[in-house]
Structure 1
């Protein structure tokens, strides 16, 4: 389903460019990167697609794993 434009009128919609997933932000990539805060559902209220809850870029995940491995080998 395409975006119906309901996401911009949703009470939990936030017009931000920088997304911080650690603060509970969820993003719909189909609705022009609509950002929602404190929404319980994992689906977009506008188009019913899955909301992104984790960053797409995996570089941060790789750095985290390397740090954990360094700590384990230094002990």
Structure 2
């Protein structure tokens, strides 16, 4: 088993995903496909926000548990 300090840092690389996803502008610089009439450009950015919330929350909870601060 890894030492507690190592386990706490192991998930931080996941934080790069919500940082890099909105920076890939050529990937989402288009209007199609549309979702409920909303162009892809806008709903991709909203999906990036939801993705960031999920990943940041997951890393936070995992780190709290590894430090023994969680329930």
TM-score bracket for the superposition, by shorter chain length: under 0.3
Larger RCO: 1 or 2 (CA < 8 Å, sep 6+)? 2
Decide which structure has greater helix share. 2
Q: TM-score with structure 1 length normalisation?
A: 0.25
Decide which structure has greater strand share. 1
